[in-house]
Amino acid sequence: MVKHKERMPWQSLRNQLKKTGIRNSTMMAIMPAETSAQIGNATNGVEPPRALVSYKQSKDGVMAQVVPQIHNLKNKYDLLWDQKGPEGYLKIMAILQKYVDQGISVNTSYNPAQYEDNKVPMSEMMKDLVTFYKYGGKQLYYFNTNDLATEDESTLDKSREDFNTQEEYDDYCESCVL
């Protein structure tokens, strides 16, 4: 268990709340991510984006969803399926939960390509589950696994090797060639 150390005068706030209460309008929650992100053309809240450009299917058709500031920040994003595992993300979310009033539905995501024989060991998932709750997490929601299908831009994205200079790569615009 991670020891809790308060860095602000929270006890005086607790005492005040016992006397005066709190209004629900001041409570903090992290909004649902997937659908809201699609509508706002944003990344999925606190989760890493799956790709720089993802394609979302709806009753109105297919929509390309581009990460914010792709032109300036495309080399700065940590993409979901490139991560070795969810441990760091789970620790951050468990700690963040301590400061968010409502429960955060946290997902784990595994890329089988990161594991021997393209299989995620159950022991790895169990280790992450225990780590999350040990750090104070409340709700694990989905255990996502990359099905290695081409649902995102990974098959369309050009790599740095496709360009003559770094400047050409930096100027390349994925959304312009979709």
Question: What is the C-alpha to C-alpha distance for residues 132 and 65, in angstroms, rounded to an integer?
Answer: 30
Instruction: Give domain status of residue 121, yes or no.
Output: yes
**Treating both helix axes as pointing N-terminal to C-terminal, what angle do 122-134 and 87-97 enclose, rounded to 10 degrees?**
20
Instruction: Give domain status of residue 102, yes or no.
Output: yes
Question: What is the C-alpha to C-alpha distance for residues 49 and 68, in angstroms, rounded to an integer?
Answer: 10
Instruction: Give domain status of residue 39, yes or no.
Output: no
pLDDT bin (cut points 50, 70, 90) of residue 157 is very low
Q: How far is CA 133 from CA 87, 100, 110, 128, in A?
A: 12, 16, 18, 9
HSE (CB half, 13 Å, CA atoms) of 6? 7
Mean pLDDT for the chain? 79
Task: Answer yes or no: are the C-beta atoms of 55 and 151 closer than 8 Å.
Answer: yes
Instruction: Give domain status of residue 60, yes or no.
Output: no
How confident is the model over 24-33, as pLDDT tens digits?
666 777 765 6
Question: What is the C-alpha to C-alpha distance for residues 17 and 123, in angstroms, rounded to an integer?
Answer: 43
Instruction: Give domain status of residue 24, yes or no.
Output: no
- Whether the pTM exceeds 0.75: the reply is no
Phi, psi of 134 (to 5 degrees): -60, -40
Residue 45 confidence (pLDDT): 72
Residue 164 confidence (pLDDT): 61
Instruction: Give domain status of residue 19, yes or no.
Output: no
Instruction: Give domain status of residue 123, yes or no.
Output: yes
The count of other CB atoms within 10 Å of the CB of residue 48 is 17
Worst-scoring range by mean pLDDT, 110-114, 135-139, 146-150, 170-174? Answer: 170-174
How confident is the model over 62-115, as pLDDT tens digits?
878 888 888 899 899 889 889 888 999 999 999 888 888 888 888 899 999 989
Question: If you search the block for the tokens 């369309």, which residue do you land on?
Answer: 156
Q: How far is CA 92 from CA 7, 47, 60, 69, in A?
A: 17, 11, 36, 24
How confident is the model over 142-153, as pLDDT tens digits?
888 888 665 444
Give the domain extent around 140.
Answer: 69-148+158-177
Instruction: Give domain status of residue 94, yes or no.
Output: yes
Phi, psi of 64 (to 5 degrees): -85, 125
Task: Answer yes or no: are the C-beta atoms of 178 and 56 closer than 8 Å.
Answer: no
43, pLDDT greater than 80: no
Q: How far is CA 30 from CA 12, 46, 50, 99, 137, in A?
A: 26, 8, 19, 11, 14
Residue 155 confidence (pLDDT): 40
Total domains present in the chain: 1
